[in-house]
Structure 1
């Protein structure tokens, strides 16, 4: 793609000292810098950083000796269009970076690689329980620049930048070093969320098989939904990450690190898939327990109903008020009927008790 010389007004100065990175209020630009020989060089504007790299010394291959890293958070179409003109970003990739809601993927437009990754966080939901929330990180990696576009509340890249700046030997590797650091950061997020989900699954499993009777069905279904959300973020990244390791712009040393990240991703993916397999039998066991408990309740209700049916039947018979009924005129008729009722109820109670119905 054709690149142009950046105008001096590209993200205008904020009347601040050089190197004091404080983006303008309302701007999507979080941070930017030029990196030369692995060391950060601060400038007043993004345009100054680009000119510093492209007007500076060159490598023996004719490439820039450093690169520019621009970080944005949910940029507008206008802000990203300015950067697209300077760095020669493809319109289709720019459109994806603005609209978000993309699947993890790796695409190449001339010498610019466009990478999309899902970020995840385990955050409190509306009902107080934790839910998996997803965001996205898009990366434009060119020969002398990296543009990261983040969507969502999590996956902040400031710690990644700070960690890289403490390791100049890694930054000398160029944009590929940033690409590895960001992918490693994203996959570490997967690991943390997967571990948190594992703890919730363990709690549910313990509650289901505890002697106490609790209703865990809603929580189990919620966990199954969160596991599906996590699978949608983790699974599709495997292909792009595998392809990254074979790209020519990635140095051999960085390829080794990318393969390590891919190994971590594989373990997380297998871990998340096992969660779904584990939740199914937990749900079945819980539903079986609910059915057994319901049957016990029905037996108790039936037993007590049978017991109370005896006095109801006897009282119903003697409540018909016929003139000629047994023992109606006998002095001990009333106590006898009460005794028969009590003896019958006691016999039924002992029988139901012996058979485990009460």
Structure 2
């Protein structure tokens, strides 16, 4: 779909409202340049544009595919294809929406093909139309306006990612377990965002080479390059920080699992002690409960009953108590080694 099409000459737009495609192609020979903006066009519409402006067929195919990294490519007819990745943070879903802008740049025309909702260019066109001194430099001024808007849109994404990372970081370094899936999601988003930002540095550095950009526009391209360098450093730092937070969260999970294992071991120890205590008692009571003649004939007095029954119950309990104390003393050094092996989660860094 064609969003807007205009002919610019002497720093001004030559008409009001969009221009038909055939008329725009004719104006390319009358001086100035034509800026054609399209949003998610179909194959038939792109074919019409290619035939009207003489674009290379490989460049048009490239504009229809979705790329993971920005790039710039020069064709034999002098047309340059520049592909940018756009980004926008969605507050409701707490995710980054990405888009793509393919720019066909020539001396007589600029054609922008947008993919995705995060690729609006109305602000760039309006801003440039209010800067006639930049429009007079030619079609390269549109590239600056688009790059400047795209790079400026990265800053809110960096800020929102930083806020999400701080929330996860505060949870982890407080000793609580953070959702591992959320950390992985943030790490993936930061990596995808880095792929959109970092390769763009090479694209911008190419525009700063001698002879590739009008002298009047060089300070503006350098300003965009400086802003992009800052964004690139921040995104790289966020990726590294998320890796550290993920490792710390795994350590916290290990600590919690060790605590659960220790509690389960203590419970099993108590149950084992109870079962062990009742084992000899059950044996003694079962033995003296048998109706053997010797037992019946020799336990005829209270003293004999007290000696054989009560002492027969106390002696196994006493022996079991002594054995358990010895076992506990032997296991104490092993428990200290286990506690020292539990990973320590460092406190959150302070500035």
TM-score for the superposition, normalised by structure 2: 0.77
What is the match of residue 117 of structure 1? 84
Residues 1:97 and 2:70 are matched in the alignment: no
- Describe the superposition over 1:13-34 as per-residue Cα deviations: whole angstroms up to 9, x where unpaired: xxxxxxxxxxxxxxx1111112
- Describe the superposition over 1:122-160 as per-residue Cα deviations: whole angstroms up to 9, x where unpaired: 337xxx753333321011111121110011121211121
Q: 1:48 aligns with which of 16, 23, 33?
A: 23
| CA positional deviation for 1:186 | 1.4
| Whole-Å separation in 1 of the counterparts to 2:241 and 2:166 | 10
Residues 1:323 and 2:288 are matched in the alignment: yes
| CA positional deviation for 1:324 | 6.9
Deviation above 4 Å: which 4+ runs of structure 1?
Answer: 327-333
| Whole-Å separation in 1 of the counterparts to 2:19 and 2:86 | 31
What is the match of residue 85 of structure 1? 51
Secondary structure (helix, strand or coil) at the match of 2:288 reads: coil
* Structure 2 segments unaligned to the other structure (5+ residues): 291-302, 330-334, 340-351
Contact 2:68–2:196, Cα closer than 8 Å, also in 1: no
Q: 1:107 aligns with which of 73, 76, 84?
A: 73
| Whole-Å separation in 2 of the counterparts to 1:328 and 1:114 | 108
| CA positional deviation for 1:91 | 1.4
Secondary structure (helix, strand or coil) at the match of 1:133 reads: strand
1:257-336 equivalences in 2 (<5 Å): 257-320=220-283, 321-323=286-288
| Whole-Å separation in 2 of the counterparts to 1:282 and 1:208 | 7
| Whole-Å separation in 1 of the counterparts to 2:182 and 2:194 | 18
What is the match of residue 348 of structure 2? none
Q: 2:4 aligns with which of 27, 31, 41?
A: 31
Q: 2:172 aligns with which of 196, 208, 220?
A: 208
| Whole-Å separation in 1 of the counterparts to 2:305 and 2:186 | 71
Q: How many residues were matched structurally?
A: 308
> Greater share of helix residues, 1 or 2?
2
What is the match of residue 70 of structure 1? 36
* Structure 1 segments unaligned to the other structure (5+ residues): 1-27, 56-63
TM-score for the superposition, normalised by structure 1: 0.75
Contact 1:246–1:255, Cα closer than 8 Å, also in 2: no
1:217-228 equivalences in 2 (<5 Å): 217-228=180-191
Q: Quick one: structure 1 residues 53 and 92, their matched pair in 2 at CA, closer, same or farther if it must change by over 3 Å? A: closer
Q: Which has the larger radius of gyration?
A: 2
Contact 1:176–1:249, Cα closer than 8 Å, also in 2: no
